[in-house]
Structure 1
């Protein structure tokens, strides 16, 4: 097996000891590293060999047409049939044995390549060649030039011909004619593109046509002097011819001059003069001079002069015109500016025109003149002190913004207006601006503070530390909702008072004040709570009444105490009498008990003690009826309590005697 650059190129199986691989013919593309590999009974062996082939065979060149016209293209094909790609082709365009153009192209998988060469203006007889290079390594693998192929170039139309009449050098005032012509191919030829002919002065096209000739004519003046070009062109090519036309001046341009200055006051005298340099006075007298203003006003000048008293409307651009031998020339323009004096300016305040301003705010003043030529310069003064300046180029008022920061900014302001009229100098009427200082640091005071006796006088005081008069003080009472008590305006004091002559309980609540002035900025204090208390005489009456009540209670209590004590002594005497009567009756009863097995007495138990105690407590009441209640108790003769009862009865009875 044979390999080139590790790529198999030939493979053979043979029983011979050697074999041959032939490359014929050998080319540069055959260069490379070759290797032969032999496989015998499962064993392989190879050896590498580098082969380098030099020399490239010349390529072949083909041209489709050997005769072309300007503007057409020539197709050139270069072919290297004996070389293997990749190939690099170079094409050459020769004229008079000089390379005028070349193009290079590569072909990666083909052996030929085609390019187009445009036929340009001036091309006559052309020769085309090409060469080829194998690969992209070095020029050693480059071929020699191919055989040359010739191409003849024919003109599609002739070079333009330019003709000037009367000549290329003449004096202005006559008609000038320029003719441009070309020769086109006959209609029977294959060339059918449209040829356009133009006449140009510098880069300005004067006239054009698609016929074989074009003519331009006009009255010649000096300004028509210059280079003229006749150009014929198609989409692909063009040809031209040029000529310089010299025109002599018949007379110079007129010159307009101002006798004096060109900035005038309204009412000044304007004098203008028009003259032609180099023209004698005798000839000038016979010429007609015209004055033009803004190109819309035309007036004949007497002997080239014009004089008038100007107004503002006379401002404008002036020039003069003169015609000699059908040649009309105009002067350069002269700008005349007439300035009307400014009227008396009017100064007004922009915000509210009340001639007041709050300190810390901006005072805006407008100044305007109803008439006067623009621009107008407005200046603002405070007294004799300059404040600011505004230059206006329109009819809008001048606006001055003055930052009012201190009381020194008050005073008389006036506006001064002026313009380029030298007699213009006007002042407006003065306006007096008052600077208002807002109220500041309001203080509220009550006399007394906090609480007040009913029926006494309550004094309210409201004051401010700063503020321009007049100052308005408002006193308020607040109990749920605000209620204004009084509104006081002060023109010479920074404080105000309000007296409530007789304060009562219904007037309990918060009291505060609010201060303001023309600055429209009010400041309020925090409410102070006031509460009515009893008057001293009411407290005395109440104390006396309480003491009287206490004394009355003591007297009544003493009365009842003495009365009870008296009744207690009476009850004691009654008890003594009752006790004696009870003893007599008791003896009698004892006898009856013995006979009848009955017993009168009190049982010494809890119920009987309660009965006795209750009886003693009601002794006083029973004493009035002088009645004694007795309790009859029947006792059974066989009762075991009988003896005990008898014994107790005796103890009770003996007790008073023993005492």
Structure 2
């Protein structure tokens, strides 16, 4: 039967599902608190069932059903995880052990929210006592026993220990509850037990000891007996025999003979060992027997007396120089008189393994490695090796210097000998007096001495003395012969001609000289105007202490000089006068300039004077003077005003009257009247002092005279312009 679902019902169903899912999706949970509860308690005995309860207090939206995840931690490591919709969860620890002790906590997680509980300690007391078992109780020395130690029910990392009365025999750490190990014993009786330990946090918990098992070990009678013939005390060269044996004969028993770290024989169970002894054969000898894992030994001490002592090689003298004679001796200090006499010992001397005689002349042929050999009763002994190398007498030393030698300055004297065995002692002498000593102990080493001289002649008083064999081979150098530099003193600069009489263009001689100084000397002449060096003229490495320089003089010449080896310098300021032709040229130029200036002033003055004359006006009163009349002339210009009174006489006037022309006579009419005589009467007028220009001498002033129209009888007459010379003092015009 098919059921047809209406479309409207389907839409409603989907809507309800959507609303339900949306409500679940937006349901919010808040964890208020989380608590861990340990049941039955926090401290329990081993074997107790322990339960951990994680309980959460959560608030959430009404009608929602959130899920919770519970995490349990031991010592801050995740122990267990569960999921549920309940607000609590459990974690069980059945049959708790000490290994369950630790720090516990839980955490609740819901909708990306997490909250932890506080940390609580769980302590489980009591470790189980382990049980020890062995596979057999009766053993022979060297047998192996299997021991098993078990701690049933314990968990965690356990460390098992096997021990007896003497101490620990074996230990092993494992996660297992059982440890098995094989042990071998050498003692006759052993009481063995085991125990274990476990880490709880940072402390170690130890269990009780297990049951004790007593083991009886049967000893193997394989300890060897060692014997030596003829005696433990022998003389060098004697033969001795060793024998080793055991009480129980067993084909598997092995016996060896050992001296120190050297195995002399490995088959001592079947044969003896014989040897001829030497002085260094004294000491302990040991017989060792092996059977399975069991070793047993016996020892004996042997003392060997020297047949004769080690020979000693001697050289006389101890140090020998080339060409000197030396002796070589070989001897012993003691010998066994009960075996040999001193004459039974033979000696031989070898140089580089070649026999030589016991004396010779020191030199390159005698140099080498020497050894002495002594023999008696088959015993051969060698002395220590002695290297003989003839010393080379010191050669004549050479005396030199390091660097330049300058008077009154410290310098180094070097002493060196090309040949000579070390060490060499050098002495610096001055006039046979030793100043200092130095010892040279390495090849190509030179003795250095500091010295200082006050005069150049002192340099030859130094000598070097060298020795490497006391007073036998002292060598003296020659006297020190090197160039001594005398510092250049402050130079003297001389000028010819004498400064003050030097004209430009003349030949100037500069002479630079020094009272003291070692050649070669370099001179530098510098010329300048005081604002910096212009040029330098040098002549290097001159052998004289003086240098001349010829040059054309120039104004304000400064000259300096210094030496290449000193900082001494001298300066001189030269005043150089001009040449005569330059002086004449300057004088002519100055005179021309003055003349032009005077001409300019005169022309300017005349120009101003002309302007003043043109501006002057002359008036005559009365206009038609008669005989004996007083005539007043008034002259007016820009600068001053003056009146002049003239008496008219019937005579020739001092005024010059220009004769009239013909045309003028016609117009003027008859001139039959007598001549008019003018008498000048000067009436000075007051003048403003501030407007009076200064004036010197007497000037001639020309004024234009004009007669005004007079009476009827003179109506037809025109007064001519006349120029009169007025001789009177007037103020001088100012430009």
TM-score w.r.t. the length of structure 2 is: 0.52
2:303 to 214, 237, 246: 246
Alignment of 1:554-633 (within 5 A): 580=661, 583=664
Alignment of 1:247-326 (within 5 A): 247-254=304-311, 261-264=317-320, 266-270=323-327, 272=329, 274=331, 277=334, 288-293=346-351, 296-299=353-356, 306-311=358-363, 314=366, 318-326=370-378
Matched, 1:475 2:525: yes
How far residue 133 of structure 1 moved from its aligned partner, in angstroms, is 9.2
Whole-angstrom distance in 1 between the partners of 2:472 and 2:241: 58
Alignment of 1:22-101 (within 5 A): 59-63=130-134, 75-79=147-151, 91=161, 93-94=163-164, 98-101=165-168
Alignment of 1:464-543 (within 5 A): 467-468=517-518, 471-477=521-527, 482-484=535-537, 489=542, 496=546, 498=548, 500=550, 503-505=552-554, 510-516=558-564, 521-523=565-567, 525=569, 532-535=576-579, 539=583, 543=587
Whole-angstrom distance in 2 between the partners of 1:418 and 1:308: 25
Contact 1:363 / 1:401 at 8 angstroms: preserved in 2?
yes
Whole-angstrom distance in 1 between the partners of 2:719 and 2:219: 189
Q: If each structure's helix is expressed as a fraction of its own residues, which one has the higher value?
A: 1
User: How many residue pairs get matched?
Assistant: 509
Matched, 1:396 2:449: no
Cα pair distance change 1:497/1:158, threshold 3 Å: same
Whole-angstrom distance in 1 between the partners of 2:666 and 2:288: 186
Aligned to 2:712: none
Give CA-to-partner distance per residue, 1:267-317, whole Å, 9 cap, x none: 23526354674588x965565421134x53324x7xxxx344444654666
Aligned to 1:344: 396
SS in 2 for 1:423: coil
Whole-angstrom distance in 2 between the partners of 1:180 and 1:450: 130
SS in 2 for 1:539: helix
How far residue 365 of structure 1 moved from its aligned partner, in angstroms, is 1.4
Whole-angstrom distance in 1 between the partners of 2:291 and 2:537: 101
Cα pair distance change 1:165/1:442, threshold 3 Å: farther
Cα pair distance change 1:339/1:236, threshold 3 Å: farther
Contact 1:230 / 1:240 at 8 angstroms: preserved in 2?
yes
SS in 2 for 1:432: coil
> Structure 1 stretch 321-330 or stretch 475-484: which is displaced more?
475-484
Give CA-to-partner distance per residue, 1:472-515, whole Å, 9 cap, x none: 43334469863427679576x6xx57475x8445x875532232
Aligned to 2:215: 150
Contact 1:69 / 1:153 at 8 angstroms: preserved in 2?
yes
Give CA-to-partner distance per residue, 1:40-67, whole Å, 9 cap, x none: xxxxxxxxxxxxx999986421236766
SS in 1 for 2:720: helix
Contact 2:149 / 2:160 at 8 angstroms: preserved in 1?
no
2:503 to 453, 458, 474: 453
Give CA-to-partner distance per residue, 1:608-647, whole Å, 9 cap, x none: xxxxxxxxxxxxxxxxxxxxxxxxxxxxxxxxxxxxxxxx
SS in 2 for 1:341: coil
Cα pair distance change 1:497/1:283, threshold 3 Å: closer
SS in 1 for 2:428: strand
Matched, 1:3 2:40: yes
Cα pair distance change 1:273/1:212, threshold 3 Å: closer
Contact 1:342 / 1:417 at 8 angstroms: preserved in 2?
yes
Whole-angstrom distance in 2 between the partners of 1:10 and 1:363: 98
How far residue 427 of structure 1 moved from its aligned partner, in angstroms, is 0.9
SS in 2 for 1:656: coil
How far residue 76 of structure 1 moved from its aligned partner, in angstroms, is 3.8
Give CA-to-partner distance per residue, 1:77-125, whole Å, 9 cap, x none: 14366xx77999885633xxx4443678999x97x453757646x3445
Whole-angstrom distance in 1 between the partners of 2:291 and 2:431: 82
> Structure 1 stretch 379-388 or stretch 162-171: which is displaced more?
162-171
How far residue 436 of structure 1 moved from its aligned partner, in angstroms, is 2.5
Q: Structure 1 regions of 5+ residues with no counterpart?
A: 12-24, 30-52, 188-194, 559-574, 588-650
Whole-angstrom distance in 2 between the partners of 1:525 and 1:256: 76
Give CA-to-partner distance per residue, 1:525-561, whole Å, 9 cap, x none: 5987767432468636854786599789999x99xxx
Aligned to 2:417: 368
Whole-angstrom distance in 1 between the partners of 2:470 and 2:198: 90
1:224 to 266, 275, 281: 281
TM-score w.r.t. the length of structure 1 is: 0.56
Whole-angstrom distance in 1 between the partners of 2:348 and 2:572: 94
Matched, 1:384 2:432: yes
Aligned to 2:382: 330
Alignment of 1:15-26 (within 5 A): none
Cα pair distance change 1:119/1:553, threshold 3 Å: closer
Alignment of 1:137-216 (within 5 A): 146-148=211-213, 150=215, 168-173=232-237, 200-202=258-260, 204-205=261-262
Contact 2:488 / 2:566 at 8 angstroms: preserved in 1?
yes
How far residue 368 of structure 1 moved from its aligned partner, in angstroms, is 0.5
Cα pair distance change 1:267/1:142, threshold 3 Å: closer
Give CA-to-partner distance per residue, 1:331-386, whole Å, 9 cap, x none: 4667767545333333334558xxx457545324131043x443322222232232
SS in 2 for 1:322: strand
Whole-angstrom distance in 2 between the partners of 1:74 and 1:184: 29
